[in-house]
Amino acid sequence: MARTRSEESRQAILETALALARERGYGKLTVDALATEAGVGKQTLYRWWGSLGEIVLEALREHAKTIPMPETGSFEGDAEAFLRGTFRVAAGPKGTARILKGLMAEAQLDESFAPKFAEFITERRATLRSVVQRHAPNAPSGETDAIVDMLFGAMWYRMLVGHAPLDAAFAATLAKLVARAHHPGRRANG
């Protein structure tokens, strides 16, 4: 008889996974350490998830729900607020950027994990896409997708290369540039 997940245990595992991945880095996280810190057996982890990457990915998925979806009244304002929230979660010593980079690397190397990571990215893209569509409901789908790619592409480039910070100034600049391109000839905030 299969045992059902205890929501309390699930949350403890996800919180512990995220905390350990932040502290040690995703590459140094082990199933043994996670099981010990979360107070569960390894068999529980493997019964509920297929891999360590899946556990951390689910923890990030839960964490991503905390990023605000503001409605400022302008495309530039909404895009900037979304990016600021996303960058705030990713940047800094307690940020998720190191974890995301580890998961991205794993997705390149593990064919069974790659679709799960792609699904997570698709969810995040859909959230940003809704921000874009709110201000341009009749824009061609290709344009909307290109805007989403430009914004997330810039974020991933800075995360992976590390040549400059993911900060509020970068969020403001990206939002301004995309708003200007999206509405040529007029200021996005006025």
Looking at the chain, the whole-number percentage of residues with pLDDT higher than 70 is: 93
Residue 190 has pLDDT above 60, yes or no: no
Residue 16 CA to residue 89 CA, distance in Å, equals 17
Question: Torsions phi, psi of 92, nearest 5?
Answer: 90, 170
What average pLDDT does this structure show over 147-167?
95
Position 188 scores a pLDDT of 43
Amino acid occupying residue 54: E
- Residue pLDDT, tens place only, 11-68: 999 999 999 999 999 999 999 999 999 999 999 999 999 999 999 999 999 988 888 7
Contact 132, 147 (CB under 8 A): yes
Domains with residue ranges and CATH for the chain: 7-59 (1.10.10.60), 67-182 (1.10.357.10)
Of the pLDDT bands very low, low, confident and very high (cuts 50, 70, 90), residue 3 is: low
What average pLDDT does this structure show over 151-162?
96
Position 183 scores a pLDDT of 67
Beta carbons within 8 Å of 12's beta carbon, 6+ residues apart: 38, 39, 40
Mean pLDDT (the chain, rounded): 90
pTM of structure: 0.86
> 45: buried, middle or exposed (CB in 10 Å: 19+, 13-18, 0-12)?
buried
Closest listed residue to residue 73, CA positions, set 151, 179, 173: 179
- For 51-68, the DSSP string reads SHHHHHHHHHHHHHTTS-
Q: Where are the alpha helices (DSSP H) in 110-187?
A: 114-135, 141-161, 168-182
